[in-house]
Amino acid sequence: MAVSGKGSTWHEDGDYVSFAPERVPLLKPPRARAREQRGTKYVVLLLFCGGSLLITACCFLPGFAAILTALYEKMVLLTQQLQLLIASFFVIGSSAQTFSPITPPSYPLAVKNPYLSAWLPGNQASDLPSAQPEFWYANKLTWAVIARVDGTAYNLFGVPDPESDSQSATVVSGNFTSTHSYFTLTAGDATITLDFFSPVSPTNYRRQSMPFSYLTVTASGNDGATPSVQVYSDIDDTWTGQSESTTFTQQTAGDTTVYQIRNDNQVPYGELNEMAQWGYSVWGARADSHQTGSPSTVRGQFISSGTLTNSTEAWSTGAVAGLAFDLGTVSSATSAVYAIGYIRELAINYRGDPWTPYYRAYNPNWAGALNHFIDVHDDSVTESESIDAQVQSIGEASGGSNYTAILELSVRQIYGGIDIVIDNSTLDTTKPFATIKEISSNGNANTVDIIFPTFPFFYMFNPEFIKLLLDPMMTYLATDAYPQPYVIHDMGAHYPNLTGHDDGLDEAMPIEQCGNLQVLALAYQKATGDTSYTEQYADLFKKYADYLVDNGLYPVNQLSANDGIGAFTNMTNLGVKAAVGLAAYGELTSQSNYTDLGRSFADQIYGTNTNGDGLGTEISDSTNASFFTLTYQDPTYFMVFNNYPDRLFNLSVFPDESYTALSDFYPTVRQPAGVALEGAIQWAKTDWQIWVAAVSEADTQTMFVDDLYAYIANGKNTAPFADRYFSDGDDVGTAGENFRARPTLGGHFAIAALKQGVLASS
C-alpha cells in the first residue's frame, strides 16, 4: 500500500513504514539542467512506542500538512496494540547534498597531460565554495569562481578566504562522467552548475593533444524567477609551479581574452615538485571584462559592481587574472565558458631533439590555439556526450553499475599521463609519438610495464594508440643503441626526457618486457588487421621471442612489473608471461612452433588441476584444486594476471580448468578490502585485480569489482585514484600515495575488452 502526499510517497514493507522523497535526477549537461532541485529543509519525525523508535520519516517542508495527514492515515491502519506517540520533530539541516555515483577520492577538474592535472579532493566537495583544487602531487592551486545574483555575491568554488561582502552558495549535488565533473549549487534565486570538462578524443589527435580544459558556469532561475546573474573566475601563478618570479601577458585572440602566466626561471624539460618548469599557464574566455591585480582588489571590484575594469595592474606574487561575464536576466540555462591550460611548445626531449604537441601543426600560436579551443567547445561537448554514453553502456553491460563507476572515474586519468607529439623540426603529423609518464611511482618515460596494464582501454577505443605508445621505443631499439639482449624497461629515467639508455643501465626486467612487447604488438595487430608493424620490426620481435625461448621457463633472479615485492628466481608470473608471450609471437607471425612452445611452458608451469604437480602450482586446502604460487615450489599464492591475454586473444595456452580453479580459489584468500597481490603482503593492485576478474567466473568477478568500488567509495582517500591500496592491516582501505594519478587505470577496461572487444567506432 502507498499513500502519496505532494510529490512524496509512503511505502509499507510488512510492519515497517518508510518515507521516500522524489528521486533527485542525476546531473545532466548544462543545456538540459534548467530544473534542478533546489536546496530545501527537511523534517525528521520520530515515532515511539514504549520508548522504542518505530518510525523515522523525512519530508520536504512543502506539503508538510499533507505528509502529516498521510502519516495519520497509516497509523490508523497499524495494529491496535501499537500505541504511537509523536515524541519530537526538528529541522536538521538546510540542504540535501547528493554525490553520485560516489564521492570519489578526488574529482578530475582539468586533467589532460602530466602537467595539466588539476583535481579536487573528494572530501572538499561538500564545502565547494571554500574548497581548493590541487595538482596531482597535492600542490595547491588557485582557481576561484564567484557569482553575483541580484547584487549579492556568492562564492561558488575555490575561495578559502572570502571577501567580507560575499557569502557561500549552497552545494546541492556533484556528479562525474567519463569526461565531466559537475557541481550544482544554489545562490539566491539562481541555480548554478560548474562543469569541469577535459575533452577525451581517442581518435582526434589534434583535439586530444591540446593541453587545455574547460570550465563552464551555467545559471538558471529557480521556480520561475528571473535573477540578474554575473559570473567571475580567476587563476594565479600557482599553475606555473612557482610563485616567486613570474610574469604575465594579456591579449586578445579573435573574441577571446587570453592570459599567459610564465615562470621567469625556465628550466627546459625540468620539474619542481612534479610541475613543469618550462612553458607557461594560459587562461582565457570570451568574457565581458577582465582585470589583474591582488585578489582582494579584483574580486572586490566584481563583488561590488558585477564587472571588471579591463585594467592590468603591475603583476606581483599572489596576483590574479580575473575574467567576468554578465549573463543578464536568466530564466533558462545561460552559460559562460572558460579555458585553462599549460603549454610546453617544446614538450618532449626525444634523444636530444625537441618534439612538440601534435596540435601545433595547425595552431602554432598559443593565443590562437586557445581561441580555437573555445571555438570547438560545442563540438567537443557533443563528442564527450557520445563517449560518456559509450563508457556507461559498456560498463553496465560488462559488469553493472559499480563497474561503470570505476570506468568513468578512470578515463580522464588514463589520458592525464600522456602527450601526443610530433617532430618539432618537421611538424609531420603522419609520424606522431604517444609519450606516457609513470606518474608518482618514479617518473620514468614510456615504461613498457606501464603501457602494458593500460592497453585494454586503447584496444577498445583506438588500437592505433598502442602502436603510438610503442613507437618511441621501437624506433630507438632499431638503432641498436641499446646494448642489452632484452627489451628496454623505459625510454628515460625521468619524463619528459626520452633519451634512451645507451649504457644499458635501465631498471632490468628482461622477461617482463620481452613478453609485454609481444602481447602489445598482438593487441594492435588483432584489433586492426595491420601486419606491417610486425613486418617492419620483424628482426626485433624475433630477437625478443628467442630470448623468451632461452630464458622464460626458469627466470633467473629478476624484477617483474610489481617491483615493489622485490626480485625473485623462478617467479611463476614471469614464467606465465613467457608462455603467453611466446604464443603471442607465434600468433603475430603465424609460426606455430612458438605457440606450441608457449603451451609447453604452460603445461610445465601449471601441471594438472588436482595434483599440484606444476612448477608453479600448489593444491588449495579450501578448493582441492591448483593455484599459482609466487615462485616455483613455494606455497605462497600469487594473483597471476599474465594469463589474461591468453583469454583475450584465444591463444589456448592454459587449460580452461585452470581458470575455473583460480576463480574458486581467490575468494578463499580475500582480505578485508580485497585480494592482495600475493599471500605475504597486505596490499592490492587495482589494474591486476580487474585483469584477474575478467578471466574469472561471474561470482568471483563481482567480488573483485565490488571490492574495488568499495575502495574508491570508502571516504578514506583524497589523492587521485591510486591503483595500489592496503587490503588489510592498520591502513586497510587507504591508498598507496606513490601510486596516485597513474595512467595504468586503462587496465580497468579488461573485463569490457574481453566481453565486448574492439568498439566499432575505433
CATH of the domain at 484: 1.50.10
Closest CA to 260 of 224, 284, 287: 284
Query: What distance in Å separates the CA atoms of residue 626 and residue 658, rounded to the nearest whole number?
Result: 7
Residue 271 lies in a domain: no
Residue 229 lies in a domain: no
**Minimum mean pLDDT range among 68-82, 412-426, 445-459:** 68-82
pLDDT per residue over 640-692, tens digit each? Answer: 999 999 999 999 999 999 999 999 999 999 999 999 999 999 999 999 999 99
Residue 241 lies in a domain: no
Residue 306 lies in a domain: no
Q: Provide mean pLDDT across the span 517-540.
A: 99
The count of domains in the chain is 2
Instruction: Pick the last residue of a domain from 664, 683, 702.
Output: 683
Q: 38: which 3 cell numbers? A: 533546489
Per-residue pLDDT, 78: 35
Distances (CA, A) of 254 to 284, 364, 367: 11, 15, 9
Cα 591 off chain centre by: 39
Per-residue pLDDT, 658: 96
Q: Is 35 helix (H, G, I), strand (E, B) or coil?
A: coil
pLDDT-derived band at 762 (thresholds 50, 70, 90) equals: low
Q: 645: which 3 cell numbers? A: 591475454
- DSSP string covering 569-635: SSBHHHHHHHHHHHHHHHHHHT-HHHHHHHHHHHHHHH--TTT--STTEEE-TTTSSEEEBSBTT--
Which residues touch 412 (CB under 8 Å, ≥6 apart)?
108, 111, 178, 179, 198, 200
Burial class, 100, CB count within 10 angstroms (exposed 0-12 / middle 13-18 / buried 19+): middle
Question: In the β-sheet with 116-121, what is the strand arrangement from edge to edge?
Answer: 106-113, 116-121, 134-135
Burial class, 326, CB count within 10 angstroms (exposed 0-12 / middle 13-18 / buried 19+): middle
Query: What distance in Å separates the CA atoms of residue 630 and residue 395, rounded to the nearest whole number?
Result: 32
Cα 556 off chain centre by: 36
Query: What distance in Å separates the CA atoms of residue 158 and residue 170, rounded to the nearest whole number?
Result: 14
Closest CA to 515 of 601, 636, 433, 612: 601
DSSP state of 203: S
pLDDT per residue over 108-127, tens digit each? Answer: 999 999 999 999 999 999 99
Strand 348-350 and strand 353-357: the pairing is: antiparallel
Query: What distance in Å separates the CA atoms of residue 334 and residue 312, rounded to the nearest whole number?
Result: 28
Q: 598: which 3 cell numbers? A: 608457449
Residue 587 lies in a domain: yes
Residue 466 lies in a domain: yes
Whether residue 111 contacts residue 413, with contact meaning beta carbons closer than 8 Å, is answered with yes
**Minimum mean pLDDT range among 102-106, 191-195, 225-229, 242-246:** 242-246
Query: In the predicted model, is pLDDT for residue 82 greater than 50?
Result: no
Query: What distance in Å separates the CA atoms of residue 224 and residue 35, rounded to the nearest whole number?
Result: 10
Which residues touch 755 (CB under 8 Å, ≥6 apart)?
397, 398
Query: In the predicted model, is pLDDT for residue 60 greater than 80?
Result: no
Instruction: Pick the last residue of a domain from 21, 56, 91.
Output: 91
Domain holding 17, by residue range, is 2-32+40-91
pLDDT per residue over 203-245, tens digit each? Answer: 999 999 999 999 999 999 999 999 999 999 999 999 999 878 9
Q: What is the pTM assigned to this prediction?
A: 0.88
Residue 389 lies in a domain: no
pLDDT per residue over 249-276, tens digit each? Answer: 999 999 999 999 999 999 999 999 999 9
Per-residue pLDDT, 608: 81
Query: What distance in Å separates the CA atoms of residue 687 and residue 406, rounded to the nearest whole number?
Result: 11
Residue 46 lies in a domain: yes
Whether residue 355 contacts residue 434, with contact meaning beta carbons closer than 8 Å, is answered with no
Strand 134-135 and strand 626-628: the pairing is: unpaired
**Minimum mean pLDDT range among 45-59, 325-339, 601-615, 720-734:** 45-59
Per-residue pLDDT, 11: 33
Q: Provide mean pLDDT across the span 285-308.
A: 98
Instruction: Pick the last residue of a domain from 650, 665, 683.
Output: 683
How many Cβ atoms sit within 10 Å of the Cβ of residue 596? 13
Whether residue 232 contacts residue 146, with contact meaning beta carbons closer than 8 Å, is answered with yes
